[in-house]
Structure 1
């Protein structure tokens, strides 16, 4: 599968992997900042997301393989990776399967453990949007508000809208494949998978995705890691406290 991406800047290769129902474009402001600091930033759309191909198959092994193929296609031998949420799970699986391809690894607000399925309301709202054949973004927001009260989350999700025809909006994501494979999203790393390279876990100070009790589980997979919290941020750490996130991540990425 040939993944879609946008590439910004020149220098050390840095791949950014978005979260569930997101796309590379969610990170474009930070990508421009990394590019100014001497990185060639690859904003990748993962399978069934953004402008990348749709496929009924969906798993972390497949997405790690997609990324490996992407690096080969772009002739990138060793990269640093930032992965948020689902993208962090992909990055962790990639690290354990292809450690020789990695320089530095940043995992954003996700642990290598199993997470119970918790996207039911979001997926139902998006299903209704897909069925409605809407003709305005405001109508889409009004419909989605019946399922999701937080405007910031609705705005994030509605970035998936595009004009299928001049007078009909549709969703870029492969909604059916994601619904069919929703249990895959919560899966943890396989028990015996390990990575010895330098890894930074960046968690939201107000998020419960990485808890103190998760450190033992992280230790069982990662031999060389640290965990840092970004104050005043929830699960979307990079969007909520962008400057602090940029500073802490750059400090790690630039350390020789």
Structure 2
């Protein structure tokens, strides 16, 4: 049974652009891009399970998350969509395209490869647990708690987007942290499905990121043989670091696909 995801839908009759965030992200992180892209396309941005305003449920397999996303498309009567996913969201859209290729008009994969990665979120999880235990009442207190484990201010600002105030005035995590940590090995693993998705594909990577290295390209091309690879001057959060270049790359790709 798929999870009933929260989503933002700008509306329209054209083939939509569906946006899928990465680990610990949400649809809200993409609102500035939505404002730009909705001038050209119908845009749908989802909160994956255990993220944003979507339900907290056990299991973070890519089969399950692809099924959740397909259920959104079915609910909105969307037959085909351009699928854009960043990081973990990139693996979700690759999974959907492999499992249900007829539903994918094209793929845009942002700074992720269809490979298994090692552990590199221990400090992030520790920071979030610190906030959980510290029960901050304002953003300054929350940032100080996050800073005990995360040095980079940009990362702390990103993590703080997962905080919301409860009735007692305490800033609480809105993510399903227990569920995410409980299936972290699966999240870091390979996408679901088998074989290749041979539809039009754009892979965007950051030149300062290690998530899509040259050594990973042979495996990437086995799964995404039509991939056009573009490198932006950015790190892993390339859509936030280089928003104009990111939008231009996506727009140019969609123009070519839609002819």
Query: Shared fold (TM-score greater than 0.5)?
Result: yes
Indicate the residue corresponding to 1:240 in structure 2: 241
RMSD: 1.2
The total of aligned residue pairs comes to 254
Alignment of 1:1-256 (within 5 A): 1-8=3-10, 10=12, 11-37=14-40, 39-189=41-191, 192-231=194-233, 233-255=234-256, 256=259
Structure 1, gaps ≥5 residues long:
none
Contact 2:99 2:193 in 1 (8 A): no
Contact 2:26 2:48 in 1 (8 A): yes
3-state SS of the aligned residue for 2:190?
A: coil
Q: What do residues 185-205 of structure 1 show as CA deviations (whole Å, max 9, x unaligned)?
A: 110135843211111100012
Distance 1:191 1:239 in 2: 29
Distance 1:115 1:165 in 2: 39
Distance 1:129 1:51 in 2: 19
3-state SS of the aligned residue for 2:231?
A: strand
Contact 1:9 1:36 in 2 (8 A): no
Runs of 4 or more, structure 1, over 6 Å off, are: none
Deviation, structure 1 residue 9 = 5.1
3-state SS of the aligned residue for 1:36?
A: coil
Contact 2:163 2:171 in 1 (8 A): yes
Normalised by the size of structure 1, how large is the TM-score? 0.96
3-state SS of the aligned residue for 1:220?
A: helix
Structure 2, gaps ≥5 residues long:
none
Cα distance 1:63–1:209, how it changes in 2: closer, same or farther (>3 A)?
Answer: same
Contact 1:60 1:90 in 2 (8 A): yes
Contact 2:98 2:194 in 1 (8 A): no
Q: What do residues 109-159 of structure 1 show as CA deviations (whole Å, max 9, x unaligned)?
A: 000011011100100110121122221111010010010011010000000
Deviation, structure 1 residue 12 = 3.0
Contact 2:15 2:80 in 1 (8 A): no
Distance 1:195 1:42 in 2: 22
Distance 2:213 2:129 in 1: 32
3-state SS of the aligned residue for 1:254?
A: helix
3-state SS of the aligned residue for 1:58?
A: coil
Normalised by the size of structure 2, how large is the TM-score? 0.95
